Amino acid sequence: MIDLHTHSVFSDGELIPSEMARRMAEMGNEGFAITDHGDFSNIPSIMDRLNRMKDVRDDYELKILFGIEITHVPPKMIGRAVELALREGAEIIVVHGETIAEPVREGTNFYALQEEIDILAHPGLIDEKSAELAYENGIYLEITSRKGHSLTNGYVAKVSRKFGCELVLNTDSHSPTDFINTATAEKIALGSGIEKVNNILENSRKLMERKLKKV
């Protein structure tokens, strides 16, 4: 399991990065990304803290990326937030999609998928035009294990099959009780209607490897 959407104490998670890494490794996971909630008020401060981990990451037991989940930013300003995150050293960028579990502004999916992001998290009832953008721009759509956000997993999987979008499976973890292993991830993928479970897990591995080559 490679989990590319988690949160630390630097936004609203419960654990510092080192404890996240230790617990993930103990579960047998291969790697993860810390993608703390960010907007214009805190992206620099989050990345200032996470950037300090970059020089020591090779001493941990699994692979780690450091990035941002752009969250509840007005849709037309998402591009500016992406630019800020990249400028501050984010290695992976997730955007908080239009989950039905939160009052996300309409248009967030559409505008996010036009930017230089990696994953659109919990995209909810994503429309076909946005799904086409995800496919055209090579942006991954997320299948999630997180309560509430996971209610539309089946719909996301169905739309992705129709338009050829690539998927990743993440936890959106805020607490150690949110972490899952590969066996659980496989069950969640199957329960979402995904037939080729290995493909979705391999997508996370490919994205992780591609990002690490750039650091």
Domain count, the chain: 1
CATH of the domain at 64: 3.20.20.140
Over the stretch 148-195, which tens digit does the pLDDT of each residue have?
999 999 999 999 999 999 999 999 999 999 999 999 999 999 999 998
Per the structure, the complete domain to which residue 197 belongs is given by 2-213
SS3 210: helix
Tokens 């989950």 correspond to: 99
CB atoms within 10 A of CB 154: 14
Output the pLDDT for position 82: 98
Over the stretch 60-109, which tens digit does the pLDDT of each residue have?
999 999 999 999 999 999 999 999 999 999 999 999 999 999 999 999 99
d(CA 37, CA 12): 7
User: What mean pLDDT is reported for the chain?
Assistant: 98
Output the pLDDT for position 195: 87
Residue 215 has pLDDT above 90, yes or no: no
| pTM (global) more than 0.85 | yes
SS3 23: helix
pLDDT (average), residues 6-33: 98
Confidence of residue 139 (pLDDT cuts 50, 70, 90): very high
CB atoms within 10 A of CB 179: 21
